[in-house]
Structure formats: C-alpha cells, structure tokens
Structure 1
Amino acid sequence: MMAPVKQEKPKMQSELCSSPSVIVIGGGFGGIAAARALHDASFKVVMLESRDRIGGRAYTDYSFGFPVDMGASWLHGVCKKNPLAPVIGKLGLPLFRTSGDNSVLYDHDLESYALFDMEGHQVPQELVTEVGEAFESVLEETKKIRDEYQEDMSVRKAFSIVLKRRPDLRQHGLAYKVLQWYLCRMEGWFAADVDNISLKGWDQEELLEGGHGLMVQGYHPVIEALAKGLDIRLNHRVVKITWRYSGVKVFLEDGRTLVADAAVIAVPLGVLKASTIKFEPRLPEWKEAAISDLGVGTENKIALYFERAFWPKVDFLGVVAPTSYGCSYFLNLHKATGHPVLVYMPAGRLANDIEKMSDEAATNFAVSQLKRILPHASEPIRSLVSHWGTDPNSFGSYSYDAVGKPHDLYERLRVPIDNLFFAGEATSIRFPGTVHGAFSTGIMAAEDCKRRLMERYRDLELFQPVMGEELPTEPIPMRISRL
C-alpha cells in the first residue's frame, strides 16, 4: 500500500507570522517543487493540499498490489536536459521507453502498437507505417496553412484544407480509419478534440530529446522523495486568498486562516477556472484572461487487471474507426512491468462522456472496446477508473492551446503579482501539460518568491539545490529499458 504522508498538527496563526514565511497552495509537482526549494533555502513553508494525499494529477494507485499510475505516468524527454532527470536518476527509478525522439503524434515504430478494425482484423503493419507517414506530412502541410491565414483555426479545419489541396495525402477505406486513429492519439496528447486545438499553438511546446519513458514504479516514489520533511497539511481546502504588500491571508473551508509573507498558487488550471478560490482584491484582468482563455482538457484512464496477458506484446493496442471519437487505444503495462494490465485511455469529448457513467459502466465500455479487437478477451479481475474532469480538485487533466488564443498565455499565468506566485503545468510556456513542466515552474516560483522577499529580508542565504545537498553534482544515468 502507498505509504501515508505524515500530517503534522496544525500550527496556530501566530506561529506562521514570523518571517520569512510562504504558504504553498496545491500539493502537485509544481507545489512540491516550490515548497522543497523554499524549505531548503530556510524559509518557513507550509503546503496546503485539499486532497487526502499529495501528488495532484500524478497519482499512483496500489490497490492491485502493485503500482499503477492513474494520472501522469510518462517522463516526456528521457535526457539530461529534463529538469526531473537528476531526481529520477538519484532515486534509481527504472523507465520503459515507449517511443523514440519523434513526438508521440507520429511515431511509427512497429514494436509500438498493433491496430485492429472493429471486426477484430489486425491492420497490416505496412499500412500503419504508410498512413503514419502521410499523417506526418499532413501536419507539416498545416504549417503552410498557418502562414497563409491570419486568423487561427482548429487543427481539424487545417487538416480538411490540406486534404482538399493534396489529393495524394487523402486516405480511403481502412487507411482513412487508421488516419482517424492517429488523430485520436493527437487528442490524447492534448486531452482535447482536434476541433478545439489551435493550429497556431499545437506545436509550440519544447519537446526534449530521448523519447518518452514510462515510470515503471509510478511517480509516487518521486513525490515522496521531494516531499520528505516538508510541513504538509492534507484535507486543507483553500476558499479565499487576500493579498497585500505586507503579506497574504489564506482562508480555509473550515473557517481557519493562515498568514504569511507570500503565497505560491500551484492549483490546477481547472480549479482556477472554476473560481473555487476567491482572490481579494481580484486578480488583474490580464491574469484572469489567461485563466479564462487557456484550454484545459480531459484524459482519463480505466485500468483493467487480468489473470494473465492474452494480447500481443506491443506498447499500445488500437481500435481504428471512421471517426477519432470512435477510435480507442490501450496502454500495455504487461510489456513494461510484467503485470497483466491494460489501460484504456479516452480523451476529449469521449473522456467527458465516459465520466458521466458509473465506474462499472465505464469498465464495461472499455472491455467492450477491447473485445472488438480481441473477441475472446477474458473479463478483468479488477478495474480502476479515473475522474479527472469532474474531480473538484482538478476539473481537468492538463492544459492545451485553444483556437484563437495566444501561446504566451502560459507565461502570463506564471508571472507573479506582488507576493503571489504561480506554478503548475499550465504556467510552463516551454513544457505545458507535463510533469517536468510543473516541476520546473515550481522551482521558478520559488526563485521569484525569494527575490521578492529579499527586498525586506536582506540576510537570506542563497538557494540550495532542490532536495538540499542530497542531489548529486554529477548526473546519474537513468535506468531505461525497451524490450
């Protein structure tokens, strides 16, 4: 079972008044990184988390008897440049590479997946490759459309324009269904339908080299290591923040209040959009506009645990269909971990529709999709179902560039306001939607906070590295497997 986080007895307000002090709101990777860095720099730090656990949208479930990530599960960019590489390397956590340097949008490694039609016939691998290359070509052609049109449009509309201009890239019959499956994978990458993804913004994030590594033991060990020794208050839901030059006051749902010199706001974008936390005075219009205009999408997971593995030894199993909404894909955890688990991963409108179902109905839907391609599939022993879109602690999975909205909204959301600092994946203009993006913005928020408070406290020492002196000065190679 997952080791519980030690929850210290709440301190009285007077204990938090001594300075320099910071309240970090949100216990995901952005909040934990900020709290870790500030704590190691000798600040008084309290982290408030509304859930009964830390980690936010990175959640490792142990109820199967082994770790299964029901939220974030990949390190995108398995290389030294990844901000999380030193932490993962030091902990010696293994990764399983599921694709190479290309974006997952058009990785055609034939080891990676097996696609099937609705009748259970496997799509010839040469056709998967051929359509994948055509998909990549269409994406390249959409960049020309972007240059021609002043107004933004959806990726779906740009695809339509390209295919009208380039008959040679059009697909028919089974190939057309495979193309829809590639669009389905793209929707999973952004947790949104291609009808809503910005043509101007979809490729503006920075993709690190090294491919995509699945966290074999889950993200929980990383969370626990970063959180060690921090003052974490679980089940502390913040409902209002008042901010002045002299400090901040944080109001909890149960009526208690805490005060500090500054606050780091590291709650998910969906929570900010829902306005469940009130700010007094209100945030500036440009900040509210960034919250309103950034897209936040949903990708869920339905983990199916079987007695034994009866499926091909590939990273992904896919179902092709006439529409991206009708397509499906399953992550094969058996290949990476040895456990007979398939994870169904719906995104966008499909994910939102499935969230309206009961967990039993959602599981049955996932199993029915599996039986389309493997008619003799057995029933799962147990299942797990995530609800990131309706969870009041998240209201969505991660951010994306919405049609007609500028990419710099991520940076606007990150920019501090007086003694309020912002962190999380939706504040990362370089790495939005990623764990390492959230982590890096937490470090940046801590650095900004330190500089701000040094205006009043000139004797603060320089920041210590994240995780204090425990991090190695020389990078430790990450443990990566592929077979």
Structure 2
Amino acid sequence: MSRRISSAFSQPLDWESPPLVPTKCQTAPKDARIVIIGSGISGLIAARSLMKAGYSHLIVLEAKNRIGGRIHTQQFTTQTGIKYINDLGAAWVHGINDDDDDECNPILDYIEIKEVNVISEKNPWMHPDSVNPICVFVGGRRASDWCYNNGLKQYNLIFYAVSIICKSAYTLQQGSELPSISLRNALSIIRNSGLKELGLISVKDLDAESRAIVRFFIFLSECWMGGGIGEVQVEEFGDMHENGWCELSDEPGYKEWKRVKGRNKPKLYGDFRGGHGTVKGGMGRVLEGVLEGGVKEKVFLEKVVERVEWGEEGVVIGTKDGDTFKADLVINTLPLGVLKAGTVKFNPQLPHWKTESFKNLKMGTYKKVTLEFESIFWPIDEPLIGLVRITSPLKTKLETNRVINIGDKLILDNLWAKDGVPVLEAVLVAEGGQKCWGKGDREIIDCVLELMRMNMNLSLKFSKLISGHVTRWEEDPHTLGAYSHFGLNATSRSISGLRKRIGKGKKGIIWAGEATNEEYQGSVHGAIISGREAARECLGLLEGGDFIGDYDDVDERRFWGEGEGNSDGDVKIEDEEGKDVDEL
C-alpha cells in the first residue's frame, strides 16, 4: 500500500509475523455457516464474539497479505540503530476513562490504560487548548504567546458561534436543511456578521499572526474529519463548544469563556471522556488482544472478494483467485470507499435504498509522511508542531516551481518528544492530501520539506533527510480512503440504511465497520462497537436470542452503542418473509 522512495531509506522490520500473519499453507473451507469479509478490527471483533458464543464454524476473508485493515503498525530502525514503532494507519485512542460509573472506551478491553501515552486532556484537533500547548510557527518564526492565546480565544468563540448556528438551521440560507450547510458556509456567515455580542472580533480585524493561528486551528478540524471545511456538515461541530464553556462576564458587549472542569464536563460527539493519546508499542497491541483464542487461525489472506451472490438459499462469495465460499450469513466489513467504488459486484444488485444510504457518506484523505533526519532542528518537548504561512500576494520562485500545492498549513507529530527518535510525521489531509494522489513519494516529500523550510525559516540549519515514508490509504484498492465522515446531505438515515441487513429470513448480509456507527464513525472504537453489534445481530438470527459483545472481555459498565431494540436509527431485523417489522 505504501511505497519507499529509495533503498537508502529506513526499511520496516517484519512486525506482522507472528502474531498477526496466520499460516499461509492453510486451506480455507468452502462451506462455512458464517463468512466475514475483512480482517480489520471490526471483522476480527465479530469473529471473536461469535467464537466466544460457541459459533466456530466461520472464516474471515482478507484481501491483503496481513491482518488488521487500517490498523497497520510497523517497526523501523533509524540510521543510528534505534528501533521505534510507528502506526501507518489508525494510531489514537480517543477518550481514556476507567471510572466505574462512566462509559468506557472499548479499546481498553484489549490493552491496559497504562499502555496509552496520553498527549492531550481532550480531543487536540477540536480542542487545541487541551494540548500544553501546540508549538505553532507562523511566517518563519514561532508564534508569540500573546498571538497564540489571542488566536485561540477567537477560534473558541468562532466555534461557540458555530454551535449556536447548529441549534437553528433556519438562521441560515432562509431555512435550508442543516445537512446541506457546510462548515465553510457557517464560518462565512460568522465572518460577515462579526457576532460582536459574543466578544468575537472579525477575523479581518485581527493582526496577521493571530489571523494565521485561527486559520491553523480551523485546519486542525479538517485533520480530525479527513475532509475540507467545504465538504463536511456544520452539524458535525454542533456540540463542540455548546456545553463545554461557561460565561465569566456578563458585561454588555463583552463575554469571556473558560473550560468547564471536572467529571461533568461534556464529551465531544464521537469521543469517550478522558485524555487522548497513542498506544505504547502501536495500535497493533490492540489486535494482539483481539486475536487471542483462535481468531487468528480463522483468517485467510489474499482472498480478494470480487462478487457476492445473495438470496433465499444464502450467500455465495467469489474471490479473485477463483475460490467460491458458501454461507448462511455474511458479515460485510468492506471499507466505505470500496463500497462506493463498486469494485465488488453484488447479484442481485444492492437495493436502491442501500446505495442511496451511502451516497453522501464520504471517505477522508489522511496521508502520513514520516521523515527521519540526521539531527534535531525542531522544538523537542511539544508533541505537536503546527506550521502556517501568513498569506501574502507575493510568490517566491521556489513556490512558483512547486510540483504539488499541498497548501499553506501543516501539522507535525514530533516523535522525538514521544520516542526519542529524530523523526517527524507530517499529515496531509483534505485538499492538500488529494493533490498528492498519484504523485511519487519523492515529489510529496520534497513539497513537505519546502513547506517546513518556509514556515520554520530553516535555510541555514535544515538537517539532512535520512529516510522517508508515505502512506496511501486513498490509493489502496482495498481501502480507497482513510476513514469515513458525513458528507453534505448525509443524515442519520444514511447510517441506518448502510447498517441494515439485506436478505431473506435468517440468511443474508449483515453490515459492519467504522462507517456504520453514527456516533463513533471514523474511529477504532466505532469499528469495535460495530463488530460487536454485527455479532449480536448474527446470533439473534441464528438462535433467536440476543447477544452483546465478548462474554469474558466485558462487564455491565462497558458501552454497547445506541439502541437495544428497533429504535429509530437502529438496525432493522427483517421477518422471515423479508419485510421490515415496522412496515407490517
């Protein structure tokens, strides 16, 4: 999926073998009661849950030559021989809370809380003030504390205004529906109105440095969503500051806000409460916990599914290598990007309501560009480093000759602060990442280095680049994107339609994966929850009972997602004649 730019660059060690690569000499049984498509975390969780319930007559078909899907942890070795772990895919745990009377992140069922390196007390992309602090370079120098704090205050007020807009869609565009309003639309209205009653200064009235910092913090929201501000719904940001801030002053014409502290502070929609961080040893540690108990032996690699035939007699799956597999039930965890591309052919074709359900759901772009340098030339303590240019009408010769315009903002993950290695990981998202599609690693890396030079003023002290690595989830035919998000005009019905089973009676296709979980879409914990829900639905069909999660991995305080029955937005179980119960 990802490619090396030269043999001189650092080579990954074979981290996947063992425990993540099953024995390739195994022959997959052609007739299993349950077939799971995809060995990402959702498919593995579904398999584990079913096996714990006594259903071991199942197989997992994986298109790649490794287990894990968009979790991909590798070990690298620096020029000086230091080994370090890096996640080329999913890396973050969003919410770490082990209070007995609070809902807990299901990732913590497979690793201990002490294995998480906490970087921020809250979501750092949506609440940058929760990082202490992000080191931001503006126009060639590090931003002053005054400009940083001034820009941060204005950013917080802007998104408080966004939450107000989300409460009343009819304040925008003469009452048009909220799903059609992008974050860009909302920001434009806020910019034009000023909303001075909130203490919000028009961005154009800010000094250039503070204005650039506001732009950088808005860019972080694109990193979180994987899509540009013109591609994502404003409703995605409706709870961001709505209840997370309280007033300090009621003086006319002026309001100041502070963060609500304590256990009752709200969580961001899509997150669990508590700190955010990365897994020590990589997200692959979570897979190790999931694969225990014989799950690994159920996975068969390099089985690229090309066709799925479904009907009253069950489901038949055809793979690229000519194999055919029969099953009563299939749990389909294909990434949203693959579904939208139509590379897997369904016969009969998917119902119109099914394809319409995911038409407005989008796959985000999130490219990681990992760079190893000969020596350190950046701040060593801050885990995150931001770069942003002060907009200028003049263009340098260097800029004019750029091969790819990756934008004027960049976020760098500082691996020196985390692992003590001279490595930075740049993130290219949304439009900047999209412009890299089809480009070579050398071109992409050169553009990142150029942006670093301009924003950090490094012409004299820029260290020699030793190695580089570019991820390509968007160009991988088995993923076609990094993670999903709501596009314009997508609604809750989009998710419920994507999740809804197709088939007759007790046979058919159940749908799972991070894209099928409305609240936790785009996350590892969302994928885990969807896998458990798929297993529960599968068991409900097989034995007429109900089922929740792994029996021995969880207790009653664990979170199991929305809806135990057929509430609005939940998966609808069809009766034996194929009709929805609520349509009878």
Task: Name whichever of 71-80 and 372-381 sits farther off.
Answer: 372-381
Aligned pair in 2 of structure 1 residues 76, 23: CA closer, same or farther (>3 Å)?
Answer: same
Secondary structure, aligned partner of 2:234:
coil
> Does the 8 Å CA contact 1:106/1:132 hold for their aligned counterparts?
no
Task: Name whichever of 326-335 and 357-366 sits farther off.
Answer: 357-366
Query: Could you tell me which of 414, 417, 432 is aligned with 1:332?
Result: 414
CA distance in 2, matches of 1:103, 1:340: 23
1:170 corresponds in structure 2 to: 202
Q: Read off the aligned partner of 2:501 and give its amino acid letter.
A: P
Indicate the structure whose relative CO is greater, using CA pairs within 8 Å and at least 6 residues apart. Answer: 1
Query: Could you tell me which of 114, 119, 125 is aligned with 1:98?
Result: 119
> Does the 8 Å CA contact 1:73/1:215 hold for their aligned counterparts?
yes
1:83 corresponds in structure 2 to: 106
Query: Could you tell me which of 129, 135, 159 is aligned with 1:114?
Result: 135
Q: Read off the aligned partner of 2:270 and give its amino acid letter.
A: E
1:66-81 pair list within 5 angstroms:
66-80=84-98, 81=104
1:416-431 pair list within 5 angstroms:
416-418=501-503, 419-431=508-520
2:537 corresponds in structure 1 to: 448
CA distance in 1, matches of 2:440, 2:34: 40
> Does the 8 Å CA contact 2:121/2:131 hold for their aligned counterparts?
no
> Does the 8 Å CA contact 2:115/2:280 hold for their aligned counterparts?
yes
CA distance in 1, matches of 2:41, 2:332: 12
Secondary structure, aligned partner of 2:216:
helix
1:225 aligns with 2:289: yes
CA shift digits 1:151-170 (9 cap, x unpaired): 23110111010111116432
Query: Could you tell me which of 40, 43, 54 is aligned with 1:42?
Result: 54
Aligned pair in 2 of structure 1 residues 322, 153: CA closer, same or farther (>3 Å)?
Answer: farther
1:479 corresponds in structure 2 to: none
CA shift digits 1:168-205 (9 cap, x unpaired): 43233111111111121111000011011111334473
1:123 aligns with 2:135: no
CA shift digits 1:73-103 (9 cap, x unpaired): 10011123111112112xx762222222356
Task: Name whichever of 394-403 and 221-230 sits farther off.
Answer: 221-230
CA distance in 1, matches of 2:416, 2:121: 19
1:26 corresponds in structure 2 to: 38
Uncovered stretches (5+) of structure 2, i.e. residues with no partner: 1-13, 78-82, 99-103, 240-268, 392-405, 559-584
Q: Read off the aligned partner of 1:138 and give its amino acid letter.
A: I
Aligned length: 461
1:354 corresponds in structure 2 to: 436
> Does the 8 Å CA contact 1:93/1:217 hold for their aligned counterparts?
no
CA distance in 2, matches of 1:110, 1:271: 35
Secondary structure, aligned partner of 1:272:
helix
1:227-246 pair list within 5 angstroms:
227-228=291-292, 229-230=294-295, 231-246=298-313
CA distance in 1, matches of 2:319, 2:372: 39
Q: Read off the aligned partner of 2:189 and give its amino acid letter.
A: I
Query: Could you tell me which of 114, 130, 133 is aligned with 2:153?
Result: 133
> Does the 8 Å CA contact 2:367/2:428 hold for their aligned counterparts?
yes
Task: Name whichever of 108-117 and 253-262 sits farther off.
Answer: 108-117
1:319 aligns with 2:387: yes
Q: Following TM superposition, by how much is the alpha carbon of 1:110 offset from its aligned partner in structure 2, in angstroms? A: 5.9
Task: Supply the RMSD in Å over aligned alpha carbons.
Answer: 2.3
Secondary structure, aligned partner of 1:292:
coil
1:377 corresponds in structure 2 to: 462
Task: Name whichever of 229-238 and 214-223 sits farther off.
Answer: 214-223
Task: Name whichever of 326-335 and 412-421 sits farther off.
Answer: 412-421
CA shift digits 1:213-249 (9 cap, x unpaired): 1123111121133123221111110011111233211
Answer with 1 or 2: which has the greater Rg.
2
CA shift digits 1:118-163 (9 cap, x unpaired): 3x21111232222122112111212333312332311011101011
Q: Following TM superposition, by how much is the alpha carbon of 1:474 offset from its aligned partner in structure 2, in angstroms? A: 10
Uncovered stretches (5+) of structure 1, i.e. residues with no partner: 477-483
> Does the 8 Å CA contact 2:35/2:329 hold for their aligned counterparts?
yes
CA distance in 2, matches of 1:406, 1:109: 30
Q: Following TM superposition, by how much is the alpha carbon of 1:475 offset from its aligned partner in structure 2, in angstroms? A: 9.4
Task: Name whichever of 417-426 and 305-314 sits farther off.
Answer: 305-314
Q: Following TM superposition, by how much is the alpha carbon of 1:6 offset from its aligned partner in structure 2, in angstroms? A: 1.4
> Does the 8 Å CA contact 1:7/1:232 hold for their aligned counterparts?
no
> Does the 8 Å CA contact 1:111/1:315 hold for their aligned counterparts?
no
Query: Could you tell me which of 203, 208, 215 is aligned with 2:279?
Result: 215
